[in-house]
Amino acid sequence: MTILVTGATGNIGSQVIQHLVNDGADVRALVRDPSKANFPAGVAVVKGEFLDVDALRTAFQGVSTLFLLNAVVPDEFTQALIALNVAHSAGIKRIVYLSVIHPDIYVNVPHFAGKFGVEQMIEQMGLAATILRPAYFIQNDLTIKDVITGYGVYPMPVGDKGLAMIDVRDIAEIAALELLRREQAAQPLPITRINLVGPDTLTGADIAAIWTDVLARQINYGGGDTAAFEQNLKQFMPAWMAYDMRLMGERFLTDGMRPEVGDVERLTTRLGRPLRSYRDFAAETAASA
């Protein structure tokens, strides 16, 4: 019984692997370049990528449970569909898929719409899967810490509806728990959707106030201009991705990213501890600067 982790060298995938190894699971990691893989002892490394069907067929042999994580790339939707079809052909009946919260609401945002399409495939093909729907990753804000500390501005277009930001460490731990739950079940379990949220739903002004407290100086929220947000992103990412992120930011402003009733309590119970907060992240980031 083997658990295959895709996206294995990324921030979430690598932490998922560590949790699984700590629990004694038999783990296999799919990577593009095995020479760059650095995993705990006992993790089997296989070379492959989502568009290499033959490599996927080889990697999926003997796998009982699959963790499917796709990066935000232009062909993300195609990659996920190929992976799920190959998994289905390989007889893999236990799947955990990392989607995104509210993909049925953010329908004009490319990477949300793609993940919603993957969810529909999972449902219509009757695949036994847990669909994890994380909100905005707290650690995304590491990319703007210099703007916060250097210019005194929190620039993300969070708006005033509120985002239930979640720490990636909590995402990885919950994903590992779900993989183990499915792996250890006597029979494949039915489809389950789980919103992954943080303990607080924060507005742009709330986040600026947290940074003000943590840094002991005034930090202002200035992130309502999504056009400027897109232009800034284009300095370090492809134009298509910057536009995708702008569209997401516009939905932050109009819809927010709020939890459903009971989400926080369910996750807290599952973890057996409180969820990590944005304030914790800001304090850790400030202390390490």
For residue 20, give both structure tokens.
């699984």
Fold for 3-136+167-196, please state it. Answer: Rossmann fold (3.40.50)
| Residue 180: per-residue pLDDT | 98
Q: What is the pTM of this model?
A: 0.97
- Bridge partners of 46, per DSSP, are 30
Range 243-262 average pLDDT: 97
More confident residue, 36 or 209: 209
Q: What is the C-alpha to C-alpha distance for residues 160 and 152, in angstroms, rounded to an integer?
A: 19
| Residue 193: per-residue pLDDT | 98
Q: What is the C-alpha to C-alpha distance for residues 249 and 31, in angstroms, rounded to an integer?
A: 31
| Residue 55: per-residue pLDDT | 97
- Considering just the CA atoms, what is the radius of gyration of the chain in Å? 19
Q: What is the pLDDT of residues 112-156, one digit of tens each?
A: 999 999 999 999 999 999 999 999 999 999 999 999 999 999 999
Indicate whether 289 pLDDT > 80.
no
Range 176-186 average pLDDT: 98
Could you report how far apart the first and last alpha carbons of the chain are, in Å? Answer: 43
Range 186-190 average pLDDT: 96
Phi-psi group of 159: left, alpha or beta (phi > 0 → left; psi -120 to 50 → alpha; rest → beta): left
Q: What is the pLDDT of residues 71-124, one digit of tens each?
A: 999 999 999 999 999 999 999 999 999 999 999 999 999 999 999 999 999 999
Q: What is the C-alpha to C-alpha distance for residues 55 and 52, in angstroms, rounded to an integer?
A: 5
Q: What is the C-alpha to C-alpha distance for residues 92 and 4, in angstroms, rounded to an integer?
A: 10
Q: What is the C-alpha to C-alpha distance for residues 115 and 281, in angstroms, rounded to an integer?
A: 27
As to burial, measured by CB atoms within 10 angstroms (0-12 exposed, 13-18 middle, 19+ buried), residue 276 is buried
| Residue 13: per-residue pLDDT | 97
Q: What is the pLDDT of residues 194-203, one digit of tens each?
A: 999 999 999 9
| Residue 1: per-residue pLDDT | 85
| Residue 36: per-residue pLDDT | 83
Q: What is the pLDDT of residues 11-63, one digit of tens each?
A: 999 999 999 999 999 999 999 999 888 999 999 999 999 999 999 999 999 99
DSSP state, 153? E
| Residue 205: per-residue pLDDT | 97
Q: What is the mean pLDDT of the chain?
A: 96
| Spatial contact of 175 and 96, defined as CB atoms under 8 Å apart | yes
For residue 253, give both structure tokens.
């402003």
Percent of the chain at pLDDT exceeding 70: 100
| Residue 275: per-residue pLDDT | 98
| Residue 268: per-residue pLDDT | 98
